[in-house]
Structure formats: C-alpha cells, structure tokens
Amino acid sequence: MKNRVAQLLFVISIAAIILIVLNKSVISFYTLIGFIMPITIIGIAFIIFIENRSPQSTLAWFLILAILPGIGLLLYLLFGRSRWRRKKHLRRSEEQRMLFREILAGKSFHLEMSSPLNERSTYLTHVIQKFGGGPVANETATKLLTNGDETFTEIIQAIENATHHIHIQYYIYRSDEIGTEIRDALIKKAKSGVIVRFLYDGLGSNKLRRSFLQPMKDVGIEVVEFDSILSPWLLETVNYRNHRKIVIVDGTIGFTGGLNVGDEYLSRSKKFPIWRDSHLKIEGKALYKLQAIFLEDFLYATSSLNTESWNHFMDSTYFPSQGIHQAEGAVQIVASGPSSDDTNIRNALLKMMSSAKKSIWIATPYFIPDQETLTLLRLSALSGVDVRILYPGKGDSIISDQASQSYFTPLLKAGVSIYRLKDAFMHAKIVLVDDEVASIGTANMDIRSFELNYEIIAVLYESNTVLNIKNDFEQDFKDSIEITWASFQKRSIQKRMLESLTRLISPLL
C-alpha cells in the first residue's frame, strides 16, 4: 500500500510541475499536445513494427493509429503492449511459479499412468505435455455438467460437504441471487472452521462492492483480487485478465469450465433468456494440477510467491494421493497465460484437431482464430473431415459477432458446417475430435484466449464423459439453424462492410 501511495504522489507531483511550467510558458497546452501527439504516434508505430507481431495485428494497430490517433494512443497504452512486456513485469513471478512446480514434483505429487491408453491418446498426451500441458492422470472421474442449474447444484453441494478447505476462483462473480447464495454457503462453512480462499479477477468482477465482500472477510475468508484495475500497474495488467473458473473442495472435488457466477448463467437474464453452457466436475488424480494452478494464481495475487508460503500447502490435505480406481480414461490439464513461454492451450488444441480422422466439432461463443487455426480447419474440411462449429444464435457483442462472421466465408467454401443455436447464447468452450478426445474449459476459440488471458482446459481421453459431450453436441445441432453457403451469400452489402471493418480490428479483440 505504501508503494502504491508513493507512486500515486509521484505521478501527481510530475503532473503539477508540468501544469505550472505550461502556465508560465508562452507555449500553449494545445500547441504542445499538437507537437507531442504525432511524434508519440510515430514512435508507437515504430515499436509495433520492430516487435514482429503477426501481420494482422500490426496492420490493425496501424489503421487504428492512423484513423483515430487519440483513441488509438489510449487503446495502445491499455491493450496494445506486447506479451514480452507482460512477461518482463512477471519474470520474477514466473520463475517462482516454476520453482513451485519443482517443489511439487519433489514431494512426489507427480502423476503416473497405471493403465495404458490407446496409441493415439498416448501420443497426444506426450506431445501436449511437451507443449506445456500438465502430466496425464488416470484414476480420475469426470462428469459433464450441462447448463447452470446442474452446475451450481453440484458446486453448492460440494461446498456444503467441505471439511477442510474450499478454493474458489472466477473471472466474473456477480452479487446477484446465485452469487449471494454461494457467498452465504462459503460464509457458513468458514464459520464451521473450513478454510476458504476466494479469488476474483479485478476487471471481470469489478462490480463487486465492499458491502458484498466484507461479510466474507469478517468470518476469516481470504478474499483476494487478481490484478486490480485500480493498481499502479494498470497499464501492465489491464489487458491480461485471469479468465479461469476453478472450484476445489478438500483437494478431492474440482470444477472448471465455461460458467462464471451470475444469474444469466441460469437463464435468468432478460437479454439472454436461454444461456447454453457446459462445465466439468473432476474427482481423482487430475486435481493435483488444478489445485497447483489455483495456488499459483492465489499466491501471485497475494504477493506471496515464496518458499515459505508454498511449504504451507505441501501436504496431503491439499494434494491427496488417492484416485478413483474404477474411473475410465484419463485427464490432462493444460493452462496458459501471458507469462507463459508459448500459447500452450492453442498449441494443444491444434495438435488435437490435427489428429482428426473423422470429425472436429467446436463449440465457442467467440470465433476469432489466428491464421494457423483457420488454415487447419479449412484443410481438414477439404480433406473430408466432418468439421462443425456451434455458435451463438444471439451474441453478447456486436463487434465480436460481426468479426467472427467475417471468418465464415472461407470456412463455408471449404465445407465446414456452421450452426447457430436458436435464440440462445452458446457460451460453452468445447472441442471434440473423432468422438474419442475432447477438451472443455475456459478458453474461447479466439486470439485473446490463446495469447492474452490466463486460461485453463481439461483434455479428456477415452472417457464416458466424451460420449456425453457428443450427445450434447447432437442435441445442440438439432436446436440450431445451419448456415449454408447459399444463405450466407445473401447478406447485405452493409453487413459485409461491417464484417470487413471488424475483421481488421479482430486481432485486437
């Protein structure tokens, strides 16, 4: 807190000095701005150029800076600074995270497969782990949770049965009916002696008020904000959000997937009367990695990434060793973020989809792929693979929706089938390959999830849950309208122009 106050006072002092100088100078404020602005814009354009970003991202920034220089400058300061700057800011954090993983491995919390997978699954697990994914774990039971009612019922039941600890992390957590119900359940367990840690993203949950959070703090719940938007490091963090959704109870039951906490996820919103989503319940060995990811985020957010803090968690109460022996298949947790060396989740999904022999089915609320993903889907469809994309019938952002549709033409021409869910917002993030391998998690099929956000997915191998995912897909396809090449070609010239415009800035979304 003292550092933040000192930085704020420093900024105010510098601003005051500049204003005093300007007041006594013959140079007017507007003349000075008119002189500085072009130089600043040119300097930023040069920085973007030498950073060797993707051609699409570079072109998008050049256009914004040229057409709307003032707005472009503000957007760049908030959202445009590259991942290497974020990595520089978090270099010490990432080094400590890696040390945390080494400590975990040294404590024999590593995972081993006690029963083999088939050849294709085994190959994928090895490659995805090389790409930065966690170790594969069998003896892990999973359950697909469809929509809000089923998801929140399971989560609240797990919270009510907790005996040692509850870890809860969300990008969006609202102080509405379901948010209050879960908060009160956490308070009740904290009063009974259960340790509760509550982590929320500073931007996604920026509407949470002190009056809502204070009752949790009053009973000893550790309430922590991940990268506050009021932080002095705002320009370093505002574009890199923690989009993960994780709940872990007693180290034995965990949840992750598409649902945040809010009444809209229960289809109680006037704007979205039908909200289609999917979540995953996990029990068994794979929780090791899920727990580790939560603790890394929590300790970073509390500025406690140190060995002393880690050692507090290095026991079987947080990392129990037992698995679900009768569980079929295996689970591999993959996480990525702006401080990662590579786009782990994107690479894992590309490898999954490139292994397809029969089908690739994708559910996503936002579809803004990079060039590699777009090319893979096109070539897969052209080679005879059944490629389908399940997309919202009703979007929550006009810009993102139009930008997404700008990618439909090359896909439809290649034979990709695109379905829009009737009158519903499709918020699930799922990839299903050959009815054998599936991923479900928090990552959308867009550049932001691949490169900018902290995300997490679970890859499922040879599990009955994969068949349940297939069944949900088939029902969703029945409830959808397929977009045909002929019908899509009939859209108006105004809509085509809007798609083209939003396509230009899609790398920035």
Active-site residue, from 201, 277, 434, 472:
434
pLDDT at 54: 58
Point out the catalytic residue in the list 250, 370, 446, 476: 250
Q: How far is the C-alpha of 174 from the C-alpha of 179, rounded, in Å? A: 5
Rounded Cα distance, 339 and 174, in Å: 27
User: Does the pLDDT value for residue 210 go beyond 90?
Assistant: yes
pLDDT at 47 over 80: no
Please tell me the total number of residues recorded for the chain in this structure: 509
Mean of pLDDT values over 372-396: 95
Mean pLDDT calculated for residue range 251-264: 97
429 is catalytic: yes
Interior/surface letters 281-312, b for 16+ CB within 10 angstroms, e for the rest? bbbbbbbbbbbbbbbbbbbbbeeebeeebbee
β-bridge partners, 53 = none
Please give the model's pTM, rounded to 2 decimal places: 0.83
Find residue 446's DSSP bridge partners: 368
Q: How many CB atoms lie within 10 A of CB 375?
A: 13
pLDDT tens figures, 335-349: 998 877 789 999 999
Question: What is the Cα–Cα distance from 258 to 244, expressed in whole angstroms?
Answer: 9
Q: Which of 167, 245, 281, 351 is catalytic?
A: 245
Which candidate in 427, 446, 472, 476 is catalytic? 427
Handedness of CA 482, 278, 444, 387 (dihedral sign): negative
Mean pLDDT comparison of 4-13, 42-51, 241-250, 316-325, highest-scoring range:
241-250
Q: Which two tokens stand for residue 133?
A: 């994914």
- Could you tell me what percent of the chain has a pLDDT over 70? 73
pLDDT band at 253 (very low <50, low <70, confident <90, very high): very high
**Listed residue (406, 358, 461) closest to 135, CA to CA:** 461
* Integer Cα distance of 89 and 76 in angstroms: 17
**251 pLDDT more than 60:** yes
Which region among 89-93, 376-380, 408-412 has the lowest average model confidence (pLDDT)? 89-93
Active site residue 434: yes
Give dist(CA 298, CA 305) in Å, integer. 9
> Which residues does 492 contact at the CB level (< 8 Å), separation at least 6?
none
Tokens describing residue 242: 């923690």
List the catalytic residue out of 167, 243, 279, 285: 243
Does residue 5 carry a pLDDT above 50? Answer: no
pLDDT recorded at residue 118: 92
pLDDT at 156 over 80: yes
Q: Which of 429, 446, 472, 476 is catalytic?
A: 429
pLDDT score, position 326: 87
Domains and CATH numbers, the chain: 2-80 (no CATH), 89-114+137-329 (3.30.870.10), 344-508 (3.30.870.10)
Mean pLDDT score, 148-175: 98
Copy the structure tokens of residue 421: 């869910």
Q: What is the pLDDT of residues 462-503, one digit of tens each?
A: 999 999 999 999 999 999 999 999 889 888 888 888 887 777
Mean pLDDT of 274-288: 95
